Amino acid sequence: MEERINTLESSLEDREAKIRELQIELDMFKQVVRPLTSVMTSTCPHCGMVIASPEDTTKTLALRKQAISAEPSQNQVLASPTKTPKSI
């Protein structure tokens, strides 16, 4: 009987340690997701502009940043290089 109690107590301690570990991981996840979610819900999915809340109409709408790639898109046909004369 005593051995069974010790086994159950050990199992309980292991589970409590795992719960603490998962709680810490969940807290770190929430720190990232909450700010990201608030940004995602406050921007227009079609144009990327910030949606002004009714109580804060003084905010200016900001455009979403877009990157430009130096690589040509796959749909475009590459033109052959042309020589242009130097002007004098």
Going by C-beta distance under 8 Å and a sequence separation of 6 or more, which residues neighbour residue 53? 42, 59
How far is the C-alpha of 15 from the C-alpha of 47, rounded, in Å?
47
Residue 33 lies in a domain: yes
| pLDDT at position 57 | 43
In angstroms, the CA 62 to CA 21 distance is: 39
What's the domain range around 46?
1-52
What are the tens digits of pLDDT across the range 5-50? 999 999 999 999 999 999 999 998 888 877 777 766 666 666 656 6
Q: pLDDT at residue 82 above 90?
A: no
The pLDDT tens digits of the residues spanning 63-76 come to 556 666 666 666 66
Our count of domains for the chain comes to 1
pTM exceeds 0.85 for this model: no
Confidence (pLDDT) at 47: 64
- Whether 75 is covered by a domain: the verdict is no
